[in-house]
Amino acid sequence: MKTLPRLLMATALAFSPALMPTTVSAADLIVGFTRDADTLDPANHRNRETETIIRNLHDGLLTRDANMLVVPEIAESMTQISATEYEFKIRSGIKFHDGSEMTAEDVKFTLDRIALEGAMGGQTSPRQSLIGPVASVEVTAPDTVRIVLSEPWPILPAMLPNQQIVSRAFVEAQGNEGLATAVNGTGPFRLVEWRKGDAVIMERFDDYYGGAADIAPVGKACVDRVIFKIIPESASRVAALLAGEVHIINELPVFSMAQVEANDGTEVMTVNGTRSFFIAMNMEGEHFDDLRVRQAAAMAIDKDLIIDRILGGTAAPIDGILSPDAFGASSLPSLGYDPERAKALLAEAGFPNGIDITLDTEGPFKDTAEAIASMLSKAGIRTTVAVGEGAQLTDKWRTKGGAKSGDMYFTSWGNGSLDPFDIFTPTHRTNDRGNSAGYSNPELDALLDAAAIELDSEKRAAMYHEAELMINADQPYVYLWVPKDIYGVSKRVSGWQPSADSRINLHDACLN
């Protein structure tokens, strides 16, 4: 416990009075959060942490409960009229934070703003692909909205919880740029202040309609005020929790779990995650265009050992891109851990003396990447870890259709819908936005396209199983694991549980 004083000192610095609000109350529920929001505009980001903050201020047509079941939220009901038409009846009496009533026109405006090219003052929403082939949104009655698709897309209901409804009048008054920092949502909390880099402060919205009828309790939020306190450094977040200065922290490090559990006032809470970790191998480069070299890399890594020793047993191994909990996931052949066979494959590929490569990763994953690099090196793939910023690595590895310049990239992709469409397609379809391996297989492309519009769930699951067998054989990535999401939680908190989509929904959270 010698490290605790240093941790508490870090916390004291993190909670400098100059940064935190001067009137923090003992009744305030405070979340020690890893990352600040990129924006408060629900349509102008592609980031889970940003969405977590926004979804406490805004609600959507549909939402998910803690078990990932899709249920109505702003919508009172959903009816599928045909393979390409869905109708939503909107609840009456829902108010925006400024007191104005939300209407079906606001729902249409919100979805048009996401779906239509250039609808955000000439900019197209980065979330456009998350609502797929939406052709039009029609108001068919004062309380009814119809979404018309250009082709069948059975996962529309699974994707709609990602879109939050905004006020047309408010957006038109503020402008698209103004919406980055101003909020007029229908969520359980209203924005008080956003201190960029420090804290997002919200207070209970007393005219809240109550939220999803299927998620109890229905009604106003339990606490008067919540604060997302931005604490990127893990040790400082843990120290803040142990000191009682925050009540929930996300991304609790595995090595801190025992300390949090041993503390009288805190506990660890986990939930199966939805983020698949993998290593992209540059198939456009000089080494990994050969299947034998890609297989050698997979055989060089002892996934089970890393899961046990570094991840504390809090992850599930994968041999394809899908989480074990995802729709269509099934058991796949495993190359297993075999460093001697890896060396032999390198020799067969023309590299009897091994190869020298660089493994790119972001800072939070440096330790895990170095463990992987050590294993690769022992099998003849001599590996140096290079740490880069997320945006820089995205530009390097995920420029749509652009040439890759690296060797290997330790990274991940989230799949909050637990449907293959929003993880399988972007990471494996030719030239798609997340295809960091540069993989191209026209047969797979056709299969993914067909699966996206297949309405028969059994046929669709079989298609994704066939697709997983294809990539399992081609090995464009080293598929690693899906970790659990780990939270540290004060025992003063009740009524809250983590969700697999990483959302920290504070509507039901109470502070005792």
**148-159: pLDDT as tens digits:** 999 999 999 999
Measured distance CA(261)–CA(268) in Å, rounded: 6
Q: Name the percent of the chain lying above pLDDT 90.
A: 86
Per-residue pLDDT, 401: 59
pTM: 0.84
Residue bearing the bigger pLDDT, 157 or 18: 157
- Per-residue pLDDT at 400: 62
In the chain, pLDDT over 70 holds for what percent of residues? 95
Q: What is the mean pLDDT of residues 10-35?
A: 67
Band the pLDDT of 136: cuts 50, 70, 90. very high
Contacts of 288 (CB under 8 A, 6+ apart): 281, 282, 294, 297, 407, 408, 437
| Enclosing H/E stretch for 411 | strand 408-414
Token output for 275: 């983020």
pLDDT confidence of residue 6: 39
Alpha helices by DSSP H, listed for 179-249, are 234-242
| Mean pLDDT lowest among 54-63, 259-268, 395-404 | 395-404
Can you list the pairs that 215-218 forms with residues at least 24 positions away whose Cβ atoms lie under 8 Å?
215/63, 215/65, 215/71, 215/508, 217/495, 217/508
**Phi, psi of 487, deg, nearest 5:** -125, 145
Average pLDDT (88-117) is 98
- The predicted pLDDT at position 40 comes to 98
Residue 11: pLDDT band by 50, 70, 90 thresholds?
Answer: very low
Q: Given a cut of 70, is residue 18 above it in pLDDT?
A: no
On the question of pLDDT at 22 being above 60, the answer is no
CA angle 88, 93, 99 (to 5 degrees): 120
Average pLDDT over every residue of 423-449: 96
> Greater confidence, 391 or 236?
236
More reliable by pLDDT, 237 or 3:
237
Q: Show the tokens assigned to 180.
A: 């980055």
Instruction: Please report the pLDDT score of residue 346 as a whole number.
Output: 98
Arithmetic mean of pLDDT over the chain: 93
Q: What is the mean pLDDT of residues 397-404?
A: 71
Burial of 77 (0-12, 13-18, 19+ CB in 10 A): exposed
- Residue 180: per-residue pLDDT: 96
Residue 15 in this model has a pLDDT that exceeds 90: no
Rounded average pLDDT over 306-313: 94
What's the confidence (pLDDT) of residue 211? 97
pLDDT of 402 above 80? no
Q: How far apart are CA 489 and CA 249, in angstroms?
A: 7
The answer to whether residue 296 scores a pLDDT higher than 90 is yes
> Can you give the pLDDT at residue 419?
93
**86, 146 contact by CB (below 8 A):** yes
More confident call, 14 vs 295: 295
Mean pLDDT calculated for residue range 250-278: 95
Confidence grade of residue 68 (pLDDT, cut at 50, 70, 90): confident
Query: What does the pLDDT read at residue 65?
Result: 86
pLDDT at 112 over 90: yes
> 501: pLDDT confidence band, cut at 50, 70 and 90?
confident
Helix (H) or strand (E) holding 297: helix 291-300
Region 98-104: what's the mean pLDDT?
98
Model confidence at 408, in pLDDT bands (50, 70, 90)?
very high
* Predicted local confidence at residue 271, as pLDDT: 93
Q: Which of 2-6, 43-47, 184-188, 314-318 has the lowest mean pLDDT?
A: 2-6
Structure-model confidence comparison of residues 7 and 400, the more confident one: 400
Segment 111-134 mean pLDDT: 95
Residue type, 268: V
**pLDDT given at position 83:** 94
| Dist CA 105 CA 144 (whole Å) | 9
Pairing outcome for strands 85-90 and 493-494: unpaired
Rg (CA), the chain: 24
Q: What pLDDT digit, counting tens, does each position of 330-351 carry? A: 899 999 999 999 999 999 999 9
Average pLDDT over residues 429-436: 94
| For residues 228-238, average pLDDT | 95
Catalogue all structural domains in the chain, each as residue range(s) with its CATH number.
1-34+188-272+484-512 (3.40.190.10), 58-167 (3.90.76.10), 275-483 (3.10.105.10)
